[in-house]
Amino acid sequence: MFLAIDIGNTNITMGVYESNKSVFISRLATDRSRTPDQYAVEFRQIFHLYDVHRTDFSASAISSVVPELSPTICEAVEKVTGCTPMILGPGIKTGMNILIDNPAQLGADLLAGCVGAAALYPLPALVIDLGTASKVSVIDKSGAFCGCAIAPGVGISLEALSSKTSQLPNISLKTPSHAIGKNSIDSMQSGTVFGFASMIDGLCEKLEEELGEKVASTVATGGLAKDLIKSCKRDIIYNGELILQGLRVLYEKNHK
């Protein structure tokens, strides 16, 4: 079995694959204060929950946007699987031409997601990742990463809205029945859901225009994407495992 882990600022997402088929996907909160043993215990409990055993694993790969946590997770994975993970970073073969000012600055999650999209969907493509930050990446018809647009994430925006105002409450995120809100909660949900959906549509249109050709695929991933893209006008494919699938593709490229 193959273990893929994406370390994000808010969540750590892990997926287990057997013969390229998903066995399970699980998420846990990112906590920079935990030790390798604490994470190892959590991983082992999750494996037990899905009836997966330590000896089932043959390989692992990690992408991370929290560099200080990468060694901790790597050690935890080694403890519970016996495998030394491949950590996505400098020196890893990607098979993707990265057309930005400094390719070394490209986030591991963005790279893995785009590699996954290029392997799974027709090109050119737009890749939307709605996590702690909202990101829309561009892949041209040759499979090159052309760049991206980054905006504050939905969660960050909601947190700022409630913490910086005296009378607006903390709310849960759901799609309201009407855009014209009749109370504070409905109005905030409308502004957040429909506002971000409109932003995504607008960014995709702008990026496609600048690319100079119509994209063949628009793919979305990230914890908030599944529900939010339903309010978009653009036809968007949802793939919650895109980054993990990209990690699997990258591991195979580097271990042929």
User: Distance (Å, rounded) from C-alpha 51 to C-alpha 178?
Assistant: 44
pLDDT average, residue stretch 68-88: 96
Instruction: Using alpha carbons, select from 131, 126, 122 the residue that is nearest to residue 147.
Output: 126
Rounded to the nearest integer, the mean pLDDT of the chain is 92
pLDDT digits (tens, 9 = 90+) for 15-28: 999 988 999 999 99
Quickly state the pLDDT bin for 239 (edges 50, 70, 90): very high
Cα 242-247-249 angle, rounded to 5 deg:
95
Tokens at residue 202, please?
Answer: 């607008």
| 156 vs 2: which has the higher pLDDT | 2
Residues labelled catalytic = 109
What are the strands of the beta sheet with 11-18, ordered from one edge? 21-29, 11-18, 2-7, 59-64, 86-87
Domain boundaries, the chain: 2-87, 103-247
Residue 149 bridge partners (DSSP) = 136
The DSSP secondary structure of 162-175, one letter per residue, reads HHS-SSPPP-----
Task: Reply yes or no on whether the pLDDT at 131 is more than 80.
Answer: yes
User: Do the domains 103-247 and 2-87 match in fold?
Assistant: yes
What are the strands of the beta sheet with 217-221, ordered from one edge? 145-152, 133-139, 125-130, 217-221, 237-238
This prediction has a pTM of 0.90
**What's 2-87's CATH class?**
alpha beta
Tokens at residue 25, please?
Answer: 């996907």
pLDDT digits (tens, 9 = 90+) for 166-198: 767 777 778 888 999 998 888 988 998 999 999
| Fold of the domain built from segment(s) 103-247 | Nucleotidyltransferase; domain 5 (3.30.420)
Instruction: Using alpha carbons, select from 136, 87, 76, 80 the residue that is nearest to residue 250.
Output: 87
Within the chain, where are the H helices?
A: 36-49, 70-81, 108-120, 154-163, 184-211, 225-228, 242-254
